[in-house]
Chains A and B, each alone.
Chain A
Amino acid sequence: MSDKIYMIPNPPTPNKAVAFDPDVCIGCNCCVEVCPTDVLMPNPEKGAMPVVLYPEECWYCGGCVEECPTPGAITMIHPTSQRISVNWKRKSSGELFRLGMKNPPLPNNKPPSG
């Protein structure tokens, strides 16, 4: 990573839409192929994770994640304004939680119906 300071436009909003794990992503570009709004571009480096070029055109359908042959390579990241809006309260204890919080509760591993 270069420490040089460049003239660069402001980061887009939302900033990421999806995040790739470079250790899991195999750079197959299956997600790039199907994205309905062409948010993702193939990385110029063959086999590297795609580049998120148009995050503000993502409508968060999750198709890229469903299409991915290596689960865990892509994580959908809701815009911060939405993560901050998703709150819940544990009925028994009254504890408050939110999507993206610092110390989240244990994950609920129950798969969807079917």
Chain B
Amino acid sequence: MSIWHEFVQREGKVPEWPYPVNYGKVNEITSDILVVGGGLAGVRAAISAAQSGAKVVLADVGHAKRSGAGGAGVDHWHGACTNPCSKVTPEEYTKGCYDSMHGYMGAHVRYVITKESWDSLLECEKWGMRIRDVEDEFRGAEFRDEETKLLFAYDYDNKHILRVWGYNVKPVIYKEAMRLGVNIQNRICTTSLLTEGGKQGTRVVGATGVHTRTGEFYVFRAKATIVATGGAGRLFQFVPELTASASMSDMSSAGVGHAIGWKAGAELVLMEKTGPATLSGFGYAPYSMGNAGNTYHGVPIIDANGKEVPWVDAFNHEIKTIEERFRCGPGQKFQLGIGIGISNYLPEYQQNDPVRDLPERIGRGEFALPFYIDLTRMSEHERRVLWGLMVGNEGKTRIPIYDTFNKAGFDPDKDMLQAPVMTLESYLSSCFWAARAYTPLHYRAGGGSYLVDWDLKTSLEGLYAASGSTAYGGGCHGESHTTGRYAGRRAAEYAKSAPEPAADRAQIDAERTRVYSSVHQDKDGVGWKEVNHAIARIMQDYCGKYKNEMTLKLGLRLLRELRDTELVSAYASNPHELGRLLECSSLVDFGEAMLQASLVRKASNSILDFHRLDYPEMNSLEWNKLLPIRQVNGKVRVRELPLDYFLNAPYAPTYEENYRAHAGEMKAAGKEASK
């Protein structure tokens, strides 16, 4: 009795928009630091900038208490190499990441993450998130350290990945930001960065935005701006009826942070990278199906007749026991853990898995579908830590999975959860709910981001980037905390001596005119969803797995066509639709940057999943480099950069030297937190 249709049927009238609408009304807010995006990285950036004494404003398109890809919880924390039990050093971990990605990885950012990940987590503990087994529920478990009461995940030998009770992580850090007086502006769809003189490539002095409930216009002026937004989930795939609930990022994942930087003239890197659209389940909610990937790592998979699927180590040697699935195999110093998304490229760091020829074995009749997972075959500690700690605290599992399934009677002590029935190749990845069955046809953006230096500063003065999606070399949940925390204090340090922000009036006025065009037109235009579908169509077709010079140029042409026709004449009937439509505009900019980056890499590359039909030679050494792109007066400029630019002049030759020179004061705060 609560959806709109029922309301209309009951009342016999359409409800009025519940918020006062004032399209065009200008709100001006000035601060030392502006944070764009209120997910994990944004809130952590705001906190650390405020701790450094800066006056901080944070603009979030949702509500910073719950929003963001990591806002719905976390069950494990990667790269905590400085925790007292870890046997992996930051140098080793960084090398593991860099080598796994064959150099296509901002390893300087990884190094920073690895140095400070544990300190970031200790702060979460201080603010109210549980990171230790203080109730001794898992006393004696082989993944527990009896002294510190820390629990480890995935690699019990090396103890650099922790299990945590993070279902409340977002409310916890939000509360700390509020306590420190961060001025949080919710429901702001950011539309542009403001630059000195209104020109591309100059100092960033703030941003503009539109309130998605009131329609009011916001002008933010700041000495330094931190972009801490997520990816662009809606760019390649827009099927909310199927995927909204099945995705790992919400509807606001529209690449706004990248788009505003691209328009402002910042350098973006690896925007040409794409990948199969895994982790968007096309119908299966994350963690809702029987599977053995990530959070469910190690659980026995059995077939319809009760026959168990064997496991193998990274070099395909059979593993005999469940316990060994959490241990390094011969030839491995440590495992990276699947959650950071780069662990499948080099066996030296890869996790143990169910047999990697499972699709063929099913096809030969060795196993009968459907598969189930049988948690009863695990030890009581392993079963409870999987269903109870991990499922129960990981993003989108406390209410959607743990509570919902338990209430429906699912009992991991008695029941076997079924895996999806899919095409055989979909069983190649043990994360079955991601349903690779459908993904060969569906591509996604692959993690292109701002080119950043050792301060997480972008190529533009006054503009910093944090989080897995926007800083080159970022990662997963904990990485967002740590990059945000680091960028916040570096930006605050910069702001101490930065000039007062001088925004360009003409730039503000032009942006204000642009953002309201869709609310003043007649209703002949199409709505935001139809525009979004069209953008996704262009990206799938012209920036999907296979590309050539001609298809890329056609894709660019079609994006511009769309911008000048359907997008410009689209209609928004309320501020919510206006926000979604403005996000579509950002999607077009993001897509344009991807197509432009794809044009300048005239070579195929397997790590980037980049297939140029007109340059089919794979991984030629000559093209083993970064090709950051930016716009200057609307024209695309590209330059070449070595993969390890962060260890070349003007930087020092080692990670540690650079870190010492740049990390700044919070190292002390980190030490204090460690006590």
* A contact residues vs B (CB 8 Å cutoff): 1-2, 4, 6, 8, 11-20, 22, 33-38, 41-44, 49-63, 65-67, 76, 78-79, 81-82, 85-92, 97, 99-101, 104-110, 112-114
Contact = CB atoms under 8 A, between A and B. Distances in A.
Given A2-B12, A53-B3, 15 more contacts: A8-B5, A19-B1, A35-B63, A41-B15, A51-B7, A53-B4, A59-B251, A66-B399, A81-B283, A82-B283, A90-B414, A91-B414, A113-B165, A114-B130, A114-B135
A91 B71 contact: no
B1 A56 contact: no
Contact of B288 (A16, A82, A91): A82
23 contacts: A1-B9, A8-B5, A18-B2, A20-B1, A34-B66, A36-B68, A44-B15, A52-B3, A62-B399, A63-B72, A65-B403, A76-B399, A81-B242, A82-B283, A88-B417, A89-B416, A91-B374, A91-B415, A100-B408, A110-B411, A112-B402, A113-B389, A113-B392
A114 B9 contact: no
B650 to A, nearest CB: 40
B165 A114 contact: yes
B411 A108 contact: yes
Contacts of B242: 81
B137 interface: yes
B contact patch SS: loop
A28 B592 CA distance: 43
10 closest A-B pairs by beta carbon, nearest first, are A62-B399, A105-B409, A112-B392, A36-B62, A61-B72, A63-B66, A36-B67, A113-B389, A59-B250, A87-B418
Contacts of A107: 406-409
Given A35-B66, A38-B187, A91-B414, A110 B409 contact: no
A55 B2 CA distance: 11
B252 A50 contact: no
Contacts of B1: 19-20, 22, 49
B666 interface: no
A10 to B, nearest CB: 9
Interface in B1-54: 1-5, 7-10, 12, 15-16, 18
A51 B2 contact: yes
Nearest to A31: B66
Interface in B371-396: 372, 374, 376, 384-385, 388-389, 392-393, 395-396
B404 interface: yes
A91 B250 CA distance: 36
Contacts of A6: 8-9, 12
Nearest to A3: B9
Contacts of A53: 3-4
Given A60-B285, A85-B283, A85-B284, A38 B213 contact: yes
The CB with the most chain A CB atoms within 10 A, among B72, B240, B376, is that of B240
B289 interface: yes
A15 B66 contact: no
A88 B416 contact: yes
Contacts of B249: 59
Interface of B: 1-5, 7-10, 12, 15-16, 18, 62-63, 65-68, 71-72, 130, 135, 137, 165, 167-168, 187, 212-213, 240-242, 244-247, 249-252, 283-285, 288-289, 372, 374, 376, 384-385, 388-389, 392-393, 395-396, 398-400, 402-411, 414-418, 420, 576
Contact of B9 (A2, A58, A106, A108): A2
Contacts of A51: 2-4, 7, 15
A29 B2 CA distance: 13
A75 B396 CA distance: 14
B252 A16 contact: no
Contacts of B62: 35-38
Nearest to B412: A108
B406 A82 contact: no
A60 B385 CA distance: 23
Given A91-B376, A107-B408, A14 B285 contact: no
A76 B15 contact: no
Contacts of B240: 56-57
Contacts of B2: 16, 18-20, 22, 49-52
Contacts of A38: 62, 187, 212-213, 576
A90 B240 CA distance: 33
A61 B284 contact: no
A86 B288 contact: yes
B400 A61 contact: yes
Contacts of A22: 1-2
Contact of B10 (A2, A36, A50): A2
B415 A85 contact: no
Nearest to B416: A89
A8 B12 CA distance: 11
Contacts of A97: 408-410, 415
A23 B596 CA distance: 56
Contacts of A65: 399, 403
Nearest to A65: B399
Given A78-B400, A91-B414, A112 B409 contact: no
B63 A108 contact: no
A78 to B, nearest CB: 6
Nearest to A81: B283
A43 to B, nearest CB: 8
Given A1-B10, A11-B5, A37-B250, A86 B405 contact: yes
Contact of B241 (A56, A62, A85, A106): A56
Contacts of A8: 5, 8-9
A60 B289 contact: no
B396 A34 contact: no
Contacts of B403: 62, 65
Contacts of B399: 61-62, 65-66, 76
B12 to A, nearest CB: 5
A79 B418 CA distance: 18
Contacts of B409: 97, 104-108
Nearest to B137: A113
Contacts of A66: 167-168, 398-399
Nearest to B576: A38
Nearest to A67: B66
Contact of B408 (A19, A36, A85, A99): A99
A42 B396 contact: no
A36 B407 contact: no
Nearest to B418: A87
A37 B63 CA distance: 8
Contacts of A12: 3, 241
Contacts of A50: 2
Contacts of B396: 59-62
B402 A57 contact: no
Contacts of A105: 408-409
A54 B405 contact: no
A16 B284 contact: no
